[in-house]
Amino acid sequence: MKKFLIINAALTMLLLTACKKNFLDRQPQDAYSNSSLWTSASDATAALNGVYNGEYDSYSAANGNGWADGTNVIYFDCLSDNAYSQYGWEGFQAFGNGSITPTVTGYYAANLWNYTTIQKCNFFLANVGPTPMDTALKAQMIAQVRFIRAYRYHLMSQLYGGVPLVTTALTTAEADASVRTSKDSITRFVLSELTAAIPELATSYTGTDVGHITKGAATALKARVELYAGDYAACLADCQSVMGMGYSLYPNYTDLFRVAHENNQEVILDVQYVDNPSANSTYVYAVMPSNSSGGYASICPLQSLVDNYEMTNGKIITDPASGYDPASPYTNRDPRLAATILYPGEAFLQPGSTSPTYYDPLSASSPDNYASGNNTSPTGYIVKKFTSNLNDFPNLFQSGLNSILIRYAEILLSYAECKIELGQIDASVYNAINLVRGRVGMPAVDQAVYNSQSALRTLIRRERRTEFAMEGLRWFDIQRWQIGPQVMPGAVFGAWMGTVDPATGKYTITGSNLPSVETRQFTSKNYLWPVPQAEININNKLTQNPGF
């Protein structure tokens, strides 16, 4: 991570050494610390940097993942009706199609039942107290660490439900006897930690501290946790608090996700990646582009997502008055479609080029042909949101682009959703939604059409899916709205068969959708992930989720 890579050798050994016997047995060996460390503010700073550096195993270390993992965030859309993960070994395909079992793991997904960062947080909090340093600075550091621990617990509880709640370093025997704490209890703990952290945190940072946890980040995460828990009144209050902190929408939706515009006024919380390719390597964005651009096309958007985008007149494509033309399906659509997804016939810049080419996943001779099996998308769609200009990346595999976790648009739409669910429908609801829509030139909400709680609920759910596509939020919305059986099962498809004119990009549809990439199943058990069997084998006190 930017600014957090310099950790002294003693702290590196201290905070990254871990016994591999048990997922909870990650505590550092504190004999070293008691004699040599925690003697100054610089020691505490080095330890804090170690917490921010986060997960550190053979895979994530190579990719520079920190306390939150940008790779996993973008893959979460493959758990939903937004996208398909075409490589089973990455771990997300089985979660998306409902075939996951406790013994199935994957290269990326396998590290999500993970206590490495939590144990680092516990170690920091247990040892920083006696450190001679400025009291206010120490309190601020403690608040940052409590936030990071709360974030990790929130994420794990959303995926697995109840997980062991550990707030101190454990012995091996204690780790082997740990039991799951209920999801409700985990949520209460997370909210309590965030509530305690918020008053101690800074509103912003400068210089080498940019990227540290702020008051806005903690309040925004608290709002998200409350929204997911259905506590709309509490979420509304926290959204209102964030709305008074000076954040605003970045004016250009496409540029919001580019390296040159990192840390802008819309970003509330992100994972910071290093600028220097020699110091850090991340595959986060290399998985998105297609073969001709040097990528893997790992995350493949689905037709279901494309169909979600409104027309530029604000009508959905199934509305007879929308003007939607099935023969020209991408014309006059919400601009966020072209900003998010590379579709057949769309112009884009290849790395190192100043002249656009037209994306062609359909021609047999194209290096991006959907059926080639050579790092091309079988749905015919590519994620564009984070790689809109490939010239931003001298090396896709060492991109340095930060991963945004929470941005101001989420606060605005969460505010609107809470007001809708509470039956408090007033001008501020429409204003919040219109700010998000207006940023891309979409028309204001038609209040004659969206004039009831039910109609507005439909609108806000579509708006969230559109605004945050490929940002890892859709699955958690499906989970909390309990709409899995309606949106997840069945065959999933990509673009339509056709041709792309290489000179003009004209897309001519000649047939039906490309072949289905998979048939998904979904039952109530799929709202949670199974506890990894490897962990239960180590600790038989752990219980499995229902249905697994």
Task: Evaluate whether 379 touches 302 at the Cβ level (below 8 Å).
Answer: yes
Stretch 229-240: mean pLDDT: 98
Residues in the chain, total: 548
Stretch 257-275: mean pLDDT: 90
CA 303, CA 513: separation in Å to the nearest integer?
9
Confidence of residue 61 (pLDDT cuts 50, 70, 90): very low
Q: According to the CATH classification, is domain 257-509+520-548 in 1.10.1060.10? A: no
In sequence order, which residues have a C-beta less than 8 Å from that of residue 500 and are 6 or more positions away? 344, 345, 358, 359, 360, 362, 363, 366, 506, 507, 508
Best CA proximity match to 296, nearest among 69, 61, 71, 66: 71
DSSP, residue by residue, 231-268: -HHHHHHHHHHHHTTT----S-TTGGGSGGGTT-TTEE
Confidence of residue 67 (pLDDT cuts 50, 70, 90): confident
Phi, then psi, of 181 in degrees rounded to 5: -95, 140
Task: Evaluate whether 44 touches 128 at the Cβ level (below 8 Å).
Answer: yes
In sequence order, which residues have a C-beta less than 8 Å from that of residue 429 and are 6 or more positions away? 416, 419, 420, 456
Stretch 318-347: mean pLDDT: 98
Say what the pTM is. Answer: 0.92
**Could you tell me which residue, 273 or 374, shows the higher pLDDT?**
374
Copy the structure tokens of residue 458.
């439909």
Confidence of residue 400 (pLDDT cuts 50, 70, 90): confident
- Predicted confidence (pLDDT) at residue 64 exceeds the cutoff of 60: no
Identify the burial level of 15 via C-beta atoms within 10 angstroms of its C-beta, where 0-12 means exposed, 13-18 middle and 19 or more buried: buried
Stretch 63-67: mean pLDDT: 58
Domain positions in the chain:
257-509+520-548
Task: Evaluate whether 376 touches 385 at the Cβ level (below 8 Å).
Answer: no
Confidence of residue 275 (pLDDT cuts 50, 70, 90): low
The torsion defined by the Cα of 372, 374, 378 and 383, in degrees rounded to 10, comes to -140
Copy the structure tokens of residue 318.
């199934």
pLDDT of residue 14: 46
- Predicted confidence (pLDDT) at residue 374 exceeds the cutoff of 80: yes
Helix axis angle, 183-197 to 215-228, nearest 10°? 160
Tell me: the pLDDT tens digits for 12-37? 434 443 333 454 544 444 434 454 78
Task: Evaluate whether 255 touches 261 at the Cβ level (below 8 Å).
Answer: yes
Percent of the chain topping pLDDT 70:
89
Q: Could you give the 3-state DSSP secondary structure of residue 497?
A: strand
pLDDT of residue 16: 42
Tell me: the pLDDT tens digits for 311-326? 999 999 999 999 999 9
No. of helices (H) and no. of strands (E), the chain? 20, 12
pLDDT of residue 283: 65
pLDDT of residue 54: 62
Hey, how many other C-beta atoms are within 10 angstroms of the C-beta on 499? 15
Stretch 205-225: mean pLDDT: 95
- Identify the helix (H) or strand (E) that includes residue 146: helix 135-160
Best CA proximity match to 129, nearest among 33, 18, 201: 33
CA 230, CA 3: separation in Å to the nearest integer?
37
Confidence of residue 3 (pLDDT cuts 50, 70, 90): very low
Copy the structure tokens of residue 168.
């101190």
Average predicted confidence (pLDDT) for the chain: 89
pLDDT of residue 60: 43
Stretch 325-354: mean pLDDT: 95
CA 211, CA 262: separation in Å to the nearest integer?
10
CA-based angle 171:147:535, to the nearest 5?
40
Copy the structure tokens of residue 164.
């062991």
Copy the structure tokens of residue 354.
């100043």
